[in-house]
């Protein structure tokens, strides 16, 4: 039997959380600093060629749909504003992180980002999280799985086998085999990256609302769980044969009634034309 | 999760309504067609079947079941390019 961990022993003994690129950290600091300006942000992006390239590719993608060619980072920052640029930088950084994960997981994560945009708009979180942020947050929800695949591949595989054999969700099997689930581990990475606490809390509890440590993040965690569920039901799980369980509490906490469900799915299905383009940008 | 089976051109699952009754949801076409998803309710007392569009039962389904039905309909008949389901 493999060793079981708690989150602290796992981080002490096995998993090294990757750092966010320093340029992205710096952009976050600048966006949060009222005395900074657009050209400060543009300068930081220009110092990181990979980030600059990815930012320009994202800005010019149909997903952002700004309708004119943007050739310079300064132009991109001026057109979109610092908050959107920060989200672009996060997206680029997350895509880098996903280079370590499976294509299946990336596809699921991009879809969840798109689904979360649609879910948020019909939920109690409407107005609290803007659509670009929602996309990044959805993209990040399973980042803990990448860490498990990298640092504990055999245990991760064993958890997948238990999940399939007993028809229990992956997070339940991970708790049994490893002692910690991907949601809790991913939440720690989000905290390390200095992303908002509400995202860390929501990721920690998106499968199991009892794991949400802050009541104010409950609706967001539930919305994230629903976005994940919609992707699995759409035939795009994080791994083949994934089992997903959603409680009635998820819908209640997210403030989503039956009448909200069709418009969520209409918007989600209508946005799926962007998936291939976003997948290409990620690779 | 619902247990879907293919029956000819249709895909069918049993659902539970909030009234406590079981019914069958039958998917035969895309969302644009109001009869693309229909619900069959068996009334044992009169040995008759009540057939109505899914829309009529939206408030009697759980949100999870409704989302699953609409996703399955899109996978089968919709234009979004979702992966087609496989049936045993």
Of all residues in chain A, what percent are helix, strand and coil, respectively (each to 5)? 70, 0, 30
- Cα separation, B21 vs B18, in Å, equals 7
In this prediction, residue B46 has a pLDDT band, given cuts at 50, 70 and 90, of low
pLDDT of residue A196: 87
pLDDT of residue A220: 97
Domain residue ranges in chain B: 5-77
The answer to whether residue A229 neighbours chain B at the CB level (below 8 Å) is yes
- Of all helices (H) and strands (E), which one includes residue A58? helix A49-59
Cβ neighbours of A258 in B, within 8 Å: 58-59, 61, 63, 66
**Cβ-nearest to A258 among B1, B63, B74:** B63
The answer to whether residue B66 neighbours chain A at the CB level (below 8 Å) is yes
pLDDT of residue A272: 93
CB atoms within 10 A of CB B21: 13
User: Can you give the pTM of this predicted structure?
Assistant: 0.92
A102 exposure class (CB count in 10 Å sphere: 0-12, 13-18, 19+)? middle
pLDDT of residue A252: 98
B87 exposure class (CB count in 10 Å sphere: 0-12, 13-18, 19+)? exposed
A178, A170 contact by CB (below 8 A): no
Per-residue pLDDT, averaged over A238-257, amounts to: 94
Largest CA distance in chain A: 58
**Cβ-nearest to B70 among A226, A229, A262:** A262
CB atoms A233 and B81 under 8 Å: no
Chain A, nearest residue to B76 by Cα:
A234
Res A55 pLDDT > 90:
no
Q: Is the ipTM of this complex over 0.90?
A: yes
CB atoms A258 and B68 under 8 Å: no
Using the Cα atoms of residue A242, residue A247, residue A251 and residue A257 in order, give the sign of their dihedral: positive
- Cα separation, A78 vs A217, in Å, equals 32
Cβ neighbours of A239 in B, within 8 Å: none
Per-residue pLDDT, averaged over B62-80, amounts to: 97
Cα A121 to the chain's mean position, in Å?
A: 17
Distance from CA of A73 to the nearest CA of B (A): 33
Which residues, 6+ apart, have CB-to-CB distance to A228 below 8 Å? A112, A115, A141, A142, A206, A207, A244
Per-residue pLDDT, averaged over A49-74, amounts to: 86
Chain A, nearest residue to B58 by Cα:
A258
Which residues, 6+ apart, have CB-to-CB distance to B38 below 8 Å? B25, B26, B28, B51, B52, B53, B54
Tokens of A253: 């906490």
Res A248 pLDDT > 80:
yes
Residue B40 DSSP SS3: strand
In this prediction, residue A283 has a pLDDT band, given cuts at 50, 70 and 90, of low
The answer to whether residue A257 neighbours chain B at the CB level (below 8 Å) is yes
**Cβ-nearest to A235 among B61, B70, B75:** B75
By C-alpha distance, which of B21, B19, B25, B57 is closest to B39?
A: B25
CB atoms A265 and B82 under 8 Å: no
Cβ neighbours of A256 in B, within 8 Å: 63
Per-residue pLDDT, averaged over A87-108, amounts to: 81
The arrangement of strands across the sheet holding B22-27 comes to B5-7, B10-16, B22-27, B37-43, B48-53
Residues pairing with B7 in the sheet: B10
Cα A21 to the chain's mean position, in Å?
A: 17
Distance from CA of B69 to the nearest CA of A (A): 9
Q: Are strands B37-43 and B10-16 parallel, antiparallel or unpaired?
A: unpaired
The answer to whether residue A124 neighbours chain B at the CB level (below 8 Å) is no
**Cβ-nearest to A251 among B1, B59, B63:** B63
């Amino acid at each position: 039997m493999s060793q079981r961990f708690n989150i602290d022993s796992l981080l002490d003994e096995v998993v090294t959380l990757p750092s966010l690129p320093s340029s992205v950290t710096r952009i976050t600091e600048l966006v949060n600093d009222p005395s900074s300006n657009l050209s400060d942000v543009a300068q930081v992006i220009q110092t990181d060629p990979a980030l600059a390239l990815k930012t320009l590719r994202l800005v010019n993608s149909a997903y952002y749909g700004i309708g004119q060619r943007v050739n310079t980072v300064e132009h991109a920052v001026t057109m979109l504003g610092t908050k959107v640029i920060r989200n672009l930088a996060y997206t680029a950084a997350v895509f880098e992180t996903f280079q370590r994960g499976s294509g299946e997981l990336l596809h699921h994560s991009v879809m969840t980002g798109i689904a979360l945009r649609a879910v948020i708009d019909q939920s109690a979180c409407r107005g609290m999280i803007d659509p670009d942020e929602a996309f990044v947050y959805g993209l990040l929800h399973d980042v803990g799985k990448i860490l498990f695949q990298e640092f504990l591949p055999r245990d991760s595989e064993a958890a997948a086998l238990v999940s399939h054999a007993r028809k229990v969700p992956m997070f339940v099997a991970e708790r049994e085999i490893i002692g910690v689930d991907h949601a809790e581990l991913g939440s720690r990475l989000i905290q390390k990256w200095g992303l908002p606490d509400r995202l860390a809390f929501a990721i920690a509890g998106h499968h199991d609302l009892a794991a949400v440590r802050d009541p104010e993040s409950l609706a967001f965690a539930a919305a994230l769980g629903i976005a994940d569920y919609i992707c699995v039901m759409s035939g795009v799980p994080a791994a083949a044969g994934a089992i997903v369980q959603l409680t009635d509490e998820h819908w209640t906490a997210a403030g989503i009634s039956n009448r909200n469900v069709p418009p969520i799915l209409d918007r989600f299905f209508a946005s799926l034309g962007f998936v291939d383009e976003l997948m290409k940008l990620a690779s | 999760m619902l247990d879907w089976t293919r029956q000819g051109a249709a895909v069918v699952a049993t659902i539970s309504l909030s009234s406590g009754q079981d019914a069958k949801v039958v998917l035969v076409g895309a969302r644009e067609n109001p009869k693309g998803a229909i619900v069959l309710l068996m009334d044992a007392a009169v040995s008759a079947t009540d057939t109505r569009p899914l829309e009529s039962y939206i408030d009697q389904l759980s949100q999870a079941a409704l989302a699953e039905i609409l996703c399955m309909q899109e996978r089968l008949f919709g234009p979004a390019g979702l992966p087609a389901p496989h049936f045993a």
